[in-house]
Amino acid sequence: MAGYADDLALAHTLADAADAIAMARFRSLDLKVEAKPDLTPVSDADTAVEKSIRATLARARPRDSVLGEEFGRSEAAAGPGTRHWVIDPIDGTKNYVRGVPIWATLIALMEGDTPVVGLVSAPALGRRWWAARGLGAFAGRHQHAATRIEVSRVRRLADASFCYASLNGWQDNGRLPQMLDILLGVWRSRAYGDFYGYMLLAEGALDAMAEPELSLWDMAALIPIITEAGGKVTDLDGRTCADHSSVVATNGLLHESVLTALTPRG
142: exposed, middle or buried (C-beta count within 10 Å: 0-12, 13-18, 19+)? middle
Q: What are phi and psi of 134, to 5 degrees?
A: 85, -5
Q: What are phi and psi of 95, to 5 degrees?
A: -65, -45
Helix (H) or strand (E) holding 85: strand 83-91
24-39 pLDDT, tens digit each: 999 998 999 998 877 6
CATH class of the 157-262 domain in this structure: alpha beta
Q: Alpha-carbon distance 261 to 11, whole Å?
A: 37
Q: What is the pTM of this model?
A: 0.95
Instruction: State the binding site for Mg(2+).
Output: 69, 88, 90-91, 218
Instruction: State the binding site.
Output: 69, 88, 90-91, 218
Strands 65-68 and 83-91, bridge-based pairing: parallel
Instruction: Encode the chain (266 residues) as per-residue pLDDT tens digits.
Output: 457 999 999 999 999 999 999 999 999 989 999 988 776 889 999 999 999 999 999 999 999 999 999 998 998 876 777 899 999 999 999 999 999 999 999 999 999 999 999 999 999 999 999 999 999 999 998 888 899 999 999 999 999 999 998 898 899 889 999 999 999 999 999 998 789 999 999 999 999 999 999 999 999 999 999 999 999 999 999 998 767 789 999 999 999 999 999 998 76
178-200 pLDDT, tens digit each: 999 999 999 999 998 789 999 99
Per domain, the residue ranges of the chain are 4-148, 157-262
Q: What CATH code would you report for 4-148?
A: 3.30.540.10
